[in-house]
Amino acid sequence: MKPRQSSPTMEQVHLAAKLADLKEDHYRLLLSLGAMTEILIEKGLLTREELALKAAALDLELDTLVSASLRPMA
């Protein structure tokens, strides 16, 4: 027996369901990361300033890498 082809509408429904699952996973991951960050700060192992500085440094590093990858090699 030949498998039945799914309709474009059903493919969109499945895609929307996958996206909803990803959004839920993303929310849970950010919630866990936020909780761990707060615990580290409460225990005095990390300050908000250290976190902000590290985030800014990593963001700059990523921007530099992306910019370099978009430039053609000379």
Percentage of the chain beyond pLDDT 90 is 78
Give the H/E segment covering residue 53: helix 48-70
User: Coil, strand or helix: which one is 31?
Assistant: helix
The per-residue pLDDT for 3 is 59
Q: What is the pLDDT of residue 68?
A: 87
Rounded to 10 degrees, what is the CA torsion of 43, 48, 49, 53?
110
Say what the pLDDT of residue 59 is: 97
Query: Over the stretch 41-62, which tens digit does the pLDDT of each residue have?
Result: 999 999 999 999 999 999 999 9
Residue 68 near residue 54, CB atoms below 8 Å: no
